[in-house]
Amino acid sequence: MTTAVPQVTNRQALRELLSIVRPIRGRLLAAAVLGALATACGVGLLALSAWLIARAAQQPPVLTLMVAVVGVRTFGISRGLLRYLERLISHDAALRVLAELRSRMVDRLAAIAPAGLPVWRRGELLARTVGDVDEVQDLLLRVILPLSGAALVATGSVAGLAIIQPAAALALALCLVVCCLLVPGLQARRMAAAEEEDLTLRAERTAELFQTFDGISDWAALGALDDRLDRLRALEVRTSRSTRLRARSVALVSGTGVLALGFGVLLALLLGIPGVTSGEIGPVWLAVLALTPLALAEMVTGVGAAAAALPRSLAAARRVVTVLHTPDPAGPEPVDPEPLPSRAPVIRLSGVSARWPGAAADTITGVDLELRPGKRIVLLGESGSGKSTLLAVLLGFLRPTAGSMTVDGVPVERIDRQEWTSLFGWTGDPAQILATTVGENLRFARPGCTDAELTAVLDRVGLGAWLAERGLDCPLGEHGVAVSGGEQQRIALARALLADRPVLLADEPVAHVDPVIADRLVTDLMAGGAERCTVLVTHRRQDAGLGDEVLEMSAGRVVRQTVAEVRV
Q: What is the layout of strands, in order, in the sheet containing 533-538?
A: 424-427, 503-507, 533-538, 376-381, 549-554, 557-563
pLDDT tens-digit map of 525-551:
888 777 889 999 988 888 888 888 898
Q: Is 268 helix (H, G, I), strand (E, B) or coil?
A: helix
Parse the chain into domains and list their residue ranges.
10-324, 347-563
Please tell me the pTM assigned to this model: 0.73
Average pLDDT value for residue range 346-363: 87
Instruction: From residue 289, give the alpha-carbon distance in Å to each of 160, 204, 480.
Output: 10, 52, 72
- pLDDT tens for each residue of 367-384: 999 999 989 999 988 888
For 460-507, write each residue's pLDDT tens digit. 888 888 888 888 888 887 777 788 878 888 888 888 888 888 899 988
Q: Work out whether strand 347-354 and strand 364-371 pair parallel, antiparallel, or are unpaired.
A: antiparallel
Question: Rounded CA gap, 460 and 523, in Å?
Answer: 12
Q: For residue 34, what pLDDT is reported?
A: 94
Do 521 and 492 touch, CB atoms closer than 8 A? Answer: no
pLDDT at 567: 44
Q: Are strands 347-354 and 402-407 parallel, antiparallel or unpaired?
A: antiparallel
pLDDT tens column, 310-334: 888 888 888 889 888 888 777 777 7
Mean pLDDT of 424-435: 82
Q: Give the CATH architecture of domain 10-324.
A: Up-down Bundle (1.20)
Residue 22's Cβ-side half-sphere holds a number of Cα atoms within 13 Å equal to 7
Beta bridge partners of 534: 376, 504
Q: How far apart are CA 283 and CA 534, in angstroms?
A: 95
CA pair distance 428, 489, nearest whole angstrom:
8
Q: Higher-confidence residue: 537 or 192?
A: 537
Tell how strand 549-554 and strand 364-371 pair up: unpaired
User: What is the model's pLDDT at position 4?
Assistant: 56
* CA pair distance 370, 430, nearest whole angstrom: 27
Q: Place 73 in a pLDDT band, splitting at 50, 70 and 90.
A: very high
> 564: pLDDT confidence band, cut at 50, 70 and 90?
low
* Confidence band, pLDDT 50/70/90 cuts, at residue 155: very high
Third-level CATH fold of 347-563: Rossmann fold (3.40.50)
Local structure of residue 561 (DSSP, 8 states)? E
Q: Is the pLDDT of residue 408 over 80?
A: yes
Inter-residue contact 54 to 283 (CB < 8 Å): yes
The SS3 of residue 406 is: strand
For the stretch 228-276, pLDDT in tens is 888 888 888 888 887 787 777 777 777 887 788 888 888 888 888 888 8
